[in-house]
Structure 1
Amino acid sequence: MYCLRLSKIYCLGKQLSSGFGAVTSPVCSVLPLSASPRLLGRQKMNDSELISYDFERRFDQQRAFEWMQENWRSSFMLCGLYAALVFGGQHFMRERPKLNLRRPLMLWSLSLAIFSIIGAVRTGTYMLHVLLNGGFRQSVCDSSFYKAPVTKFWAYAFALSKVPELGDTMFIILRKQRLIFLHWYHHITVLLYSWYTYKDQVAGAGWFMTMNYTVHSLMYSYYAARAAGLRVPRICAMTITAAQILQMAMGLVVLAYVYSWMDMAHCFSHVDKVVWCTIMYLSYLLLFASFFYNTYLKDPAEVKASKAE
């Protein structure tokens, strides 16, 4: 009994018993009373079962973190330049004929679709592995997403990809299509937040990146098909927008858990990052829901009347 006052016995197996699943093949170890059960969350995920490619294993994530810590403020300059080109480009094209960029748009969208599909498969495989072996809390809090051989390259590629994705707007402007607030607001805020948080390896990013990769794989595939002249059913566009709304709702759920678990040693984040991300995701949810209603549910006669006004 005296020994029990000095220590607690925790049994560790392939799955942790502290909220991460049942214990199998236990190996018991003695931890002092000062050790908290939350320390068990620091156990590294065993990702040796997952196949990683040579370029993924060779990627130097530490150098990537250091570069982002030194250069993340450049994202403000990039977004400022982007905004100037967006509104300046609209003014430039006002009295000029629209350009037919169907083939370049198809190639552009196809390249981003392929990139997003591969990113979704690689990050999705890892996240599924974490969910099945560690549980939901581990999938939210574990920072190994930034360092695991399977995902470390794709986490960095995700942050950097937000720069070339700004090129989407160029096609809208040069083809003189309607540019909505949601489009350029989404591009700017995602770039800023992705660079801002990558350098700190905050909790929840695995979910955010995987969901974004997945939705973008659908979205850019749809754009590529449309640009190629294929007749895509309207239900496809509705499904993609619905998936975006679901993504934002799930993002808010993840953020709520990050905030509630943030004081735990293994669930690292900052209040300011949670607050900014919550504002961002909530604004996306409202904007995408409004877009869905006005585009797919609202009476066409009402839409025409509102445009006439």
Structure 2
Amino acid sequence: MNETELRLPLSEYSFERRFDERGAIEWMQANWSKSFVFSALYAALVFGGQHYMKPRPKMNLRRPLVLWSLSLALFSIIGAVRTGSYMFHVLSSSGFRQSICDQSFYNGPVSKFWAYAFVLSKAPELGDTAFVVLRKQKLLFLHWYHHITVLLYSWYSYKDMVAGGGWFMTMNFSVHALMYSYYAARAAGLRVPRPLAVLITSAQIGQMFMGLTVSGLVYRWMPHGDCPSHMDNITWASLMYLSYLLLFSNFFYHTYLRRPRQDASANGNAKTCKAE
């Protein structure tokens, strides 16, 4: 399927139509390795920040956290609607296999802008951890490990326009739409039912399972020539999603099953359950 074959039942906004996806892909091909620099700076600031805050009182950042979470929630909601509409069109018109193997998500109408916006957003999303550090909350391994690996893999994959990207990005947008809306509500002091936190973590676990499934199908179909990827990418994607699946499942067990009475502290750390 190519761009001229797409007849989306969804009109493009002018900024989506004018977006230069070729220039974006070329930039990422030349600069994707800068994600390692961002990751190194992030790790230094996170652990250096923890050391700096150790003898100091925690900061009250409720208002900035509301604005931060709300802005990311709105971004994710819009991204989920736009990419979800595109993926639904491909699924309904061309089937499940085409939705995984087709590269048009990276250069097709509507989705091309949001694919690039998605991968770029993984850099500013590192700012999530600043609130954890400055408010002296418990920083879980899952939190910073997830931020670093999502950034590295997203930039690494976008440059090659690998198969499966439409599923990976749409699922992430959708889960983040729920997750950041939840954080914004909690930061604003609203009482959020505990089952909603359980639902979000369950959705994240489901996302990881689906990520492994998509990676496996890409591996199965790649030799046929219509599912473009390469073994290095499939290997890293599989290892990443498997590690997420184990870590999120462990988080779910210890937060909601083994120690359900500690929901207050667990929900406060729910931001560690960010999914790619």
Instruction: Please indicate the TM-score interval, normalised by the length of the shorter structure.
Output: over 0.9
Distance 1:105 1:144, change over 3 A: same
2:14 is matched with which residue? 54
Partner residue of 2:272?
none
Tell me, yes or no, if the aligned pair for 1:79 and 1:188 is still in contact at 8 Å.
Answer: yes
Residues 189-216 of structure 1 deviation map (CA, whole Å, 9 limit, x = unaligned)? 0000000010000000000000000000
Q: How many residues are treated as equivalent by the alignment?
A: 263
Aligned to 1:199: 159
* Runs of at least 4 residues off by over 6 Å: 41-44
Q: 2:50 is matched with which residue?
A: 90
1:151 and 2:111 correspond:
yes
Post-superposition offset of 1:45:
4.4
Spell out, residue by residue over 1:126-178, the C-alpha distance to the aligned partner (whole angstroms, 9 max, x if none).
00011011000000000000011110000000000000100000000000001
Cα distance in structure 1, aligned partners of 2:146 and 2:193:
25
Alignment of 1:34-183 (within 5 A): 45-183=5-143
Structure-1 separation of matches of 2:260 and 2:107: 49
Correspondence list, 1:212-291, <5 A: 212-291=172-251
1:116–1:214 Cα contact (<8 Å) kept: yes
Residues 302 and 144 of structure 1: CA distance in aligned 2, closer, same or farther (over 3 Å): closer
Change (3 A) 1:298 1:284: same
C-alpha change, 1:140 and 1:201, in structure 2 (3 Å) is: same
Once the two structures are superposed, residues 33-75 of structure 1 have per-residue CA deviations (whole angstroms, 9 ceiling, x without a partner) of: xxxxxxxx77964234331111101000000001001100000
Query: Is the Cα contact below 8 Å between 1:45 and 1:144 reproduced in 2?
Result: no
Asked if structure 2 preserves the Cα contact closer than 8 Å seen for 1:42 and 1:266, the reply is no
Q: Kindly indicate whether structure 1 or structure 2 has the higher relative contact order, using CA contacts under 8 Å at least 6 residues apart.
A: 2
Q: How far off its partner does 1:272 sit?
A: 0.6
Residue 146 of structure 2 corresponds to: 186
Distance 1:117 1:101 in 2: 24
Letter in 1 for 2:39: C
Residue 91 of structure 2 aligns with an amino acid whose one-letter code is L
Larger CA Rg, structure 1 vs 2? 1
SS in structure 2 of the partner of residue 263 of structure 1: helix
| SS of corresponding position for 1:172 | helix
Q: Is the 8 A contact 2:8 2:89 kept in 1?
A: no
TM (norm. structure 1) is 0.83
Q: 1:44 touches 1:144 (CA, 8 Å); kept in 2? A: no
TM-aligned CA deviation for residue 299 of structure 1: 3.8
Conserved 8 A contact 2:119-2:154: yes
Q: Secondary structure of 1:262's match?
A: helix
Is the deviation greater in 73-82 or in 257-266? 257-266
Q: Percent identity?
A: 68
Gaps of 5+ in 2: 264-276
Cα distance in 1 between the residues matched to 2:52 and 2:17: 46
**Distance across 2 between alignment mates of 1:42 and 1:236:** 39
Question: 2:108 is aligned with what amino acid?
Answer: A
Q: Distance in 2 between matches of 1:43 and 1:195?
A: 23
Contact 1:116 1:213 in 2 (8 A): yes
Looking at structure 2, the residues matched to 181 and 202 of structure 1 have their Cα atoms a distance apart, in angstroms, of 28
8 Å CA contact 1:45–1:134 kept in 2: the answer is no
- TM-score w.r.t. length of structure 2: 0.92
